[in-house]
Each structure stands twice: as structure tokens, then as C-alpha cells.
Chain A
Amino acid sequence: MSDLTTLMNRAAADLDSAPTPSTLDDDVHRGQHARRRRRGLVGTGLTGAFAATVAVGLSLGPTAGPAAAVDLVTYTEQQPAGFTIAEVPEGWHVLSSDQGNLILADGDDSGADANSFEGRIVASLVGAESLPTSLEAETFTVDGAETFVYDMLGADHQPSGTLGVFVAESDGSYLSVQLPSELHWDGEAAAQFAGGLEVTDSAEYSVG
């Protein structure tokens, strides 16, 4: 006569369920396949949405002409925490950084109200669940990384001029970048800048 715990333990002990190396390999492969499938679905959806955008004659990017765009220049200052930067908009600098967020501001930005993202570049590491399920975006491949550039909407649900970028990371997460209208960038410039941002091992998910 046994108690329920003992009965369950005996039943479990009867199972020959120790994983073999082959079983563990299969577990990893199934995960990798699921991740690729998830990315593929996301990419397909975004590409389809973009095709629709083109068909109705809308364009992503700023309303100002390309001549107004701020140039990218090589970043030569000390690299911030959590990220490395290859290029920055000319005249812009790192306003603040931690393991979760990187904020850049132009030279006229006094740095007041550090919690405001208005008119500033914000980069964060986010999980795949942060990607909107419905998104019209341009897709680019920058150094092998799938990059999505889309218009962010204002309070009137119209494009605000601010661009959003998602760059797929190798571990399934995404680098999310917000680019203000002051840059006057098109999708290609936005993707190029975001492609120059690297997330370091010390970066943490943004929970702001």
C-alpha cells in the first residue's frame, strides 16, 4: 500500500526516458526550424503589406526631399553600454545609454527631460512578440540581417514622419530603432543606420 506520490514516482521511474544526444539534437533542430518558420511568416507578411503600399502609390519616408536628409558620418566617440555604433547622423551624439536603451540627440538638444523620445533616436532590444502583427514596411537586407522600415503613426493615425525600424537578430530578438522626422531619411538611410548598430552581449530587453 503506497501513497500517491510513491505510486507516481514508481510509475515515472519505470520510464526509460533519459535523452540521447540524438534526441537533444532533434530538440534543437525543431527549435531552429520553428524560429526560421516564424521569421519567414513575419517576412512574408511584411513584404506583402509593402507590395500593397506600392500599388496604391503611397511612399514610406519623410515628406521633405532627399536633399534635406542628414548625412551619416563615422562614429568616433566612446562606444555606449549595450550597443556599438558604426555611424551617426552628422552633428548627433549619444545622449544616454544603458543595457536597455540607447538614445541619440542632435547638437541642439540640451538633454533636458531624459525620458522624452521626441526628436531623438531611440534603439532598444525587444523580443519577437513586440513586432506588430499588422505592419506595412519596406524590407532591406543589411549585412545579412533582415531589416524592416515602417512609418510610425501620430495621434491622428497618419504617418508622423517618424520612422520605425526592426532588425532581426540572430537569437530571435529584434533591434528596434525609432528615427525622428528631423532626419528626413528614407527607408534605405534608416536601414543603413540601423544596420550599423550592434547589440552587445550585455544588452538587455527594453521594458520601458
Chain B
Amino acid sequence: MTSDDEFRAWTAENRQLLVRTATLLTAGDQHTAEDVVQTTLTKMYLAWPRLRGVQNRRAYARRVLVNAFTDEMRSTRRKREDLRSQMPDTATGSGAVSDDTRLLYSALGELPERMRATVVLRYFHDLSVAETARSLRCTQGTVKSQTSRALDKLKLRLGPVLRTGGAPETSPVPQVPDGPARTTALLTVASTPTHAGSLS
């Protein structure tokens, strides 16, 4: 199997999850979500030779996805008001959109981007505080405070639709075996080899 074949097979297995995550991150803006996923997959392709030895490619992809989402929001500074007005039409593909989903996207859209990413990783990906902190490259304290504030806002916005009760009850993400939830192997790969002499 060539490197391209491996990448294609991995993408076939994981693309849907990336799209779903990106759609939640973009608060239902499916077009921007697709852009973010494409950017993520292109970066994954370029890194693929280095990722051959990485067991948990999904964790790496998650981090790339969040970065791509952050970059996308930073570069375009999309107008949230406009997005919100489009959400009911752009939030889904051919499937029907429930009122709860519309309300959820609307509520997510009112959260700051990093706060939104925090709750998506915590409650959709079922990541622990520590795992979320690693994905977002922030402290666990930041994850806790962002989560707490996000829940307060969502409760207020979603009202009776949202049942209060803290941590996720079930694992929302399909648990495809993909190794332990760490990407440290990649860090060693990125090191520049030490040779005698120096490069200009």
C-alpha cells in the first residue's frame, strides 16, 4: 500500500468525524467547516510521512483541525450575525434540521471561538480536561474555566432544551482503535538532526 493509499484509507475512515466536528466548531456553517476540513486534510497529507510512526493520528488531526478552525476565523473574521442568519439553511446537508439543532448552533455561535472549541472537544469528543488542554495548547485551568463559562451561557441560551448535569454521559465519538491518545512521537520526528557544522 502506497503512502497515498494509506492516507486515502485513513481519510475515508475519519473524514466524516472531521466534518461533524468542524460543523460544530463553526456553529453550523457547513461551507466554512468543509474549508477547515480540507485545510486539515492537506496538512495531514503533507505530514503523512512523519505520521507513519504515530499511533494516534486522530488526536493529531484533531489538533490540526482546531488550529485550522482558529486560523480560518482569525483570517476571515466572519461576521457572526451574518452566519447566524444563514445557519438554518447551511447547517445540514440533505438531512432534516430539528429545532433543537438550530437552537444549538445558534447558541454555539454566540460563544467565543476558543470557548466553543473547548465544549466541542469536551462534550462531543468526550475528551478529558487534560486531553482538551493538550489539543488546545492551554492549561487545564483554562479548560475548566472556559467549560464552566460556556455551560452557563449555553444553559441561558438553550433554556429547557439543555438538561443540566455536567460531564458527558456517553462517548459520542465512534471509538475506532487508533492507539493511545498521545502524539508525542511526532514531536521527536520534527527535531532537526544534529550534525557537525551548521546550516546557513
Question: Are the chains A and B members of one assembly?
Answer: yes
**Chain A residues packing against B (C-beta within 8 Å):** 1-19, 23-24, 27-28, 30-32, 34-35, 38, 101, 116-118, 122, 124, 126-130, 132, 134-136, 150-154, 157, 160, 162, 164, 171-173, 176, 178, 204-208
Are A16 and B161 also in contact (CB < 8 A) when A117-B196, A135-B199 are? Answer: no
How large, as a class, is the contact surface on chain B? 35 or more
Contact yes or no, B19 A15, CB < 8 A: yes
A171 partner residues in chain B, CB cutoff 8 A: 3, 48-49
Specify which of B48, B96, B161 is in contact with A7 (CB 8 Å cutoff). Answer: B161
The complex places the Cα of A1 from the Cα of B160 at a distance, in Å, of: 6
Contact yes or no, B42 A30, CB < 8 A: yes
The complex places the Cα of A122 from the Cα of B195 at a distance, in Å, of: 8
> Which residues 6-27 of B have a CB within 8 angstroms of A?
7-8, 11-12, 15-16, 19-21, 23-24
B8 partner residues in chain A, CB cutoff 8 A: 24, 27-28
**Chain B residues packing against A (C-beta within 8 Å):** 3-4, 7-8, 11-12, 15-16, 19-21, 23-24, 28, 30, 38, 41-42, 44-46, 48-50, 53, 91-98, 100-101, 104-105, 119-120, 123-124, 126, 151, 154, 158, 160-163, 165, 168-170, 172, 188-200
Contact yes or no, A126 B193, CB < 8 A: yes
The complex places the Cα of A128 from the Cα of B91 at a distance, in Å, of: 38
Residue pairs across A and B with Cβ atoms less than 8 A apart, 22 shown, are A7-B162, A8-B24, A8-B120, A10-B98, A11-B24, A11-B28, A11-B100, A12-B172, A14-B91, A15-B16, A15-B19, A15-B23, A15-B95, A17-B16, A28-B7, A31-B41, A38-B46, A101-B193, A128-B46, A130-B193, A132-B199, A150-B199
Chain A, residue nearest B102 (CB): A11
